[in-house]
Chain A
């Protein structure tokens, strides 16, 4: 059977007609006289396409997923803002929702009070601008309670605490910082156990500042 196949397949050979050969020769001569741009071999041109498409298909959703819980300053935060911009086309409250998420994350991480203050301001502004649903406003209220509970600062006093911290930092000598670093930190206590009640060694309420000023 194989021999039969081979014999029949051998009969499929074709020869080029003279006029076709002449046409080809003319085309080739013209190309040699005036060569067109060199194109890379098709296989080489396409070799990189599939890996790049597969890598993009895997990495882009992975990066977008990993960026979901980032906060400003994180490496993937620009990715989050980009995906947020795309999603905002169909969901107008996504910006406000993410800002509130970020506020809750920084509170949970016990970030410095100035960071919390910035996130709180952003969240309030976003919810206000997007005319967000009531649940977002409720979450901000909860966050305010958390700030008061964990940082010992009433949210309305955060700005004044920050200003006080800034002026203290400016006036403080570098040697003081080295001698007593614990007195300069603006971070909340990193208590390993129960977080309540908060220690007041790192953040001072405005009234204490007023006493000291007097």
Chain B
């Protein structure tokens, strides 16, 4: 079930030649996947958009150094986004007082994000497990692609993926229980307020 690479050799050559059209085409092909990946890693739409833009800017600077085929280029872009996301996560850990720090608040519901319970459970995973889950289930990357992006091998990806899914299921149960308890409490308060 290998995902076919839609970044062909002509496009890679155009990127190497720093062609505007090639960059626009690559952006159209990858932007949704990269943005979903960054959003899954950061749970912050603005920061995710910045990470994607940063990856394309880095590619524009280093276009002539790109080697390999379209698949390598895809992996290069994912790696670039991932490193930017990890830098952002580290920066938030160093400065937890910043209002943009939303990653540790795993139980908080955010109406701006789809399926906040799942987002909360994802945020409780380690960075590596979160990357694997998002790449495999949100983006739909193959194990080979994930291994190339994370610079590891298939066996390690299989093992880490299984562990991450078990952990995610457990965290999801916990987060949903917390959500249910919180919503029940809100209902009780509304009922109490209505009867007065």
A5 touches B49 (CB 8 A): no
In the complex the two chains form, is B165's CB within 8 Å of A2's CB?
Answer: yes
A86 CB within 8 Å of chain B: no
Q: A12-B134, A12-B138 are in contact. List 9 more A-B contacts (CB 8 A).
A: A5-B165, A12-B119, A13-B32, A13-B139, A14-B48, A24-B27, A29-B20, A31-B61, A42-B83
With contacts A38-B61, A38-B62 taken as known, whether A14 is within 8 angstroms of B24 at the C-beta atoms is no
Interface residues on B, range: 35 or more
Map CB proximity to B onto A5-26 as digits: 1 under 8 Å, 0 otherwise.
1101111111110001101110
Q: Give the top 4 A-B pairs by smallest Cβ distance, nearest first.
A: A9-B137, A31-B60, A42-B83, A13-B36
Cβ < 8 Å to A, chain B residues 28-65: 31-32, 35-36, 39-40, 45, 48-49, 52-53, 56-58, 60-62, 65
Assess the A24–B169 pair: CB atoms within 8 A.
Answer: no
Residues of A that sit less than 8 Å from B by CB: 1-2, 5-6, 8-16, 20-21, 23-25, 27-29, 31-32, 35-39, 41-43
Query: B20 and A13: CB pair below 8 A?
Result: no
**Cα distance A78–B137 when bound, in Å?**
59
Instruction: State the CA gap A32–B76 with chains docked (Å).
Output: 18
CB of B61 within 8 A of CB of A12, answer no
Residue B79, interface by CB 8 Å: yes
Sample (22) of A-B pairs whose CB atoms are under 8 Å apart: A5-B168, A8-B118, A12-B119, A12-B122, A13-B139, A14-B32, A14-B45, A16-B35, A24-B49, A24-B52, A27-B53, A28-B60, A29-B20, A31-B56, A31-B57, A31-B60, A35-B61, A36-B57, A41-B76, A41-B79, A41-B80, A43-B151
Question: Would you give the shortest CB distance from A40 to chain B, in whole angstroms?
Answer: 8
Interface residue B194 (Cβ < 8 Å from any Cβ of A): no
Distance of A21 Cα from B30 Cα, bound (Å): 12
Q: Tell me whether A9 and B60 are in contact in the complex, defined as CB-CB below 8 angstroms, given that A15-B32, A29-B20 are known contacts.
A: no
CB distance A12 to B36 under 8 Å? Answer: yes
Instruction: Verify if B73 is at the interface (C-beta below 8 Å from A).
Output: no
Q: Please judge, given known A-B contacts A14-B45, A43-B83, whether A6 and B58 are in contact too, CB under 8 Å.
A: no
B133 and A9 contact, CB distance less than 8 A: yes
Q: A14-B45, A39-B61 are in contact. Are A24 and B56 (CB under 8 A)?
A: yes
